[in-house]
Amino acid sequence: MLIGVISQKSGFSRDTIRYYEKIGLLELHKKARRENNYKEYTPVILSRLRAIRELKMIGYTLQEIRQVIESYEIGNLDCMAGKEQVLEKIRLIDEQIQQIQTIKQQLSEAVAECPNHCKIIAILDQTITLEKGTYLSKCL
């Protein structure tokens, strides 16, 4: 398969496929080139792209995907260790959710005070002096 075909079948853009090659997520054999120097992608590459897509959809980063695939390929992917990794990922996601909820609350409070008091302008008034020596005074 040429890159256009594998792009269509995998759902990844050509640029993304090339990027994955560049960072080593996809490895083509040196014999994977045709006489005209076009790359020939195998069904194995398509399967790997589909696995990458699925892992990305459940929140894995490219670095984590690389580690999982490498562990799998050398037969060193252990379900219990994988479970611990997933539980750690869940813990990190919970932290991110808490941080986002805090930011949302702060923004909601800032909006609730408008137009009488603009928190954004208050922050800027406290920290940034305009070149003319004046401060912002309108609600954003």
71: burial class by Cβ within 10 Å (0-12, 13-18, 19+)?
middle
Within a domain: 136: no
Question: Which CATH number does the domain housing residue 37 bear?
Answer: 1.10.1660.10
Within a domain: 125: no
Express each pLDDT in 22-71 by its tens digit.
999 998 876 767 777 788 888 999 999 999 999 999 989 999 999 888 88
Within a domain: 90: no
Cα 105 to Cα 95: distance, rounded to the nearest angstrom? 15
Domain enclosing residue 63, as ranges? 3-77
Question: What total of structural domains would you count in the chain?
Answer: 1
Within a domain: 123: no
Within a domain: 42: yes
Within a domain: 83: no
Express each pLDDT in 85-138 by its tens digit.
889 999 999 999 999 999 999 888 888 877 777 777 777 777 775 544 555 555
Smallest CA-to-CA distance from 4 within 33, 41, 30 is with 41
**Res. 81: pLDDT tops 60:** yes
Where helices occur in 1-140 by DSSP H, the ranges are 3-10, 14-22, 43-57, 62-73, 79-112, 119-127
Higher-pLDDT residue of 140 and 22 is 22
Within a domain: 120: no
Tell me: cis bond preceding 43? Omega within 30 of 0 counts. no
Within a domain: 102: no
The enclosing H or E element of 133 equals: none
